[in-house]
Amino acid sequence: DEPFHGRFEVVAVSDGVCRYDGPMMNGMLADVGPVACLKIDGVRIVVSGGKAQMLDRNLYRVGGVEPEAMKILVNKSSVHFRADFQHIAHAVLVAKAPGPMQADPADLPWTRLAHGMRTKPMGDAFKGV
């Protein structure tokens, strides 16, 4: 993808260290490197120096964004976000975007899942190949 160029306002910065409080890794510490919250045209974007699965709302808070206060929240994550975000969402929309991992796990060429295991959250059960 082409880089997005623009004049951003830096709203917040932090060291990127936070504690996971959600159900997936509760109590564990995360260090995603330097974090900044950038703003352009009324849209806030939290960026970090390191990679982490978006599995906890504190990954937004470390960038100065309170997820519950947002009308729309966009995560670049395939599934991990659901445990800590689904209950605060009115709706979850999954967008299929290019990248190293499929956005919809059902699109992966599963061959060795246990019979009956779902291929995505709330999805169909695996029937074998």
Please give the DSSP secondary-structure letter assigned to residue 125.
Answer: B
Integer Cα distance of 115 and 126 in angstroms? 6
- Paired with 10 in beta bridges are 38
Res. 129: pLDDT tops 90: no
Indicate whether 106 and 88 sit together in one domain. Answer: no
Q: Which two tokens stand for residue 60?
A: 């937004």
Can you give the residue range of the structural domain that contains 110?
Answer: 99-129
Integer Cα distance of 47 and 35 in angstroms: 6
- 109: amino acid identity, one letter: P
- Note the pLDDT of residue 94: 81
* pLDDT tens, position by position, 46-86: 999 999 999 999 999 999 999 999 999 998 877 789 999 99
One domain for residues 79 and 25: yes
Chain centre to alpha carbon of residue 1: 19
